Chain A
């Protein structure tokens, strides 16, 4: 039997300490120990992107990331993305009907928040490339890409 090991990390701006066992994934720690269930479990092998979170600002698949490696680092989950940019992404996805079953949506919003923070005005090709690790089986992606282009357009109009 393995003994639990404490991990301290900044989760959504707050320092949290939680216990993990062995190579437990960050996704399991977030969902089961911190009760942040917005990070979704899809494939558990880093293929579908439903569990996307930001690690020090970069998108990762939490399902394959070793929770103990998060020690001392900054994690942002869908629950923590309440800033203006993230809110605009969410609103735009609603307006373009980019949500059907909704299971992939948190991961997609996290990925897009990470993208738009880093790249002011991504074109469609870059948006599609950034989303290539986020599987959506309902929408066909067109509405989601439209949503991002809308946000980019709003940003350009506002500046």
Chain B
């Protein structure tokens, strides 16, 4: 293997300086659960590895109206955080289903999202919170981007080569609302999702009609996406079987399914409407019980 620089960094300034110097020759590594494999297998060519796991100021969860999660917050900490479980249940569930505890102890939210893998567990739950990502660079300071705009394509994001993701901002969520994440997988653990459905449902004062619903799906296209057509169909409606079916059809229409080692395209198409309907009923039950 060719020579590779390795820098273990302890401050943002130091990191941004190295990023500015190396540009696209640098690969940021936090827990390294994914990045090390990509480098070792030759899928990512790195002339320099910038180890950022020690930037402790970017690990941790702060609550405001919503929540701010440092980009270096690990999966286990997200899965076990009582406030995240209470307010952003889909995110806690997804983090707790991402590999085993050995992976979750060091894998970070920043790595999961910035890797932009089609099966990244946290993306769909973040999309239904209308989450934003904050990035820093030496040249241009900080900027905040909606996650929908940040994710460009599979393995491709809007992050510039000299930028580091520092935080995720989850805005305050509507009242009378709940969220959930359904992950369809072959085993109950240690799997990538065959289909994943994240849902945020808000009901109106009557508790009968849908005020707003946000739907994000993974495993049904090259990248997780917000099913905005289905969202529009359901807004202001009562969740009758007919309305749910119409929304389901709109999600399917938007999807492209494929066969892979985990499942067939036809299985994915068959299971997605059921996962969606289940997610809706779980959210309704949570709101009713709250």
Contacts and interface: CB of A to CB of B under 8 A. Distances in A.
Nearest to A135: B190
A133 B106 CA distance: 14
Interface residues of A, number: 28
Nearest to B77: A58
Contacts of A22: 1, 4, 6
Determine chain A's interface SS by DSSP, over half rule. mixed
A65 B106 contact: yes
B105 interface: yes
A69 B188 CA distance: 31
Interface stretch (B34-42, B63-71, B140-148): B34-42
A23 B4 CA distance: 9
B49, B99, B106, most chain A CB atoms within 10 A: B106
B3, B101, B105, most chain A CB atoms within 10 A: B101
Contacts of B36: 23, 25, 64-66
B33 interface: yes
Given A46-B102, A59-B102, A132 B188 contact: yes
B101 A65 contact: no
A111 B103 CA distance: 12
A46 B33 contact: yes
B231 interface: no
A52 B100 CA distance: 11
Interface string B10-54: 000000000000000000010011001101100000000101010
Interface string A43-71: 00111010010010011110011101101
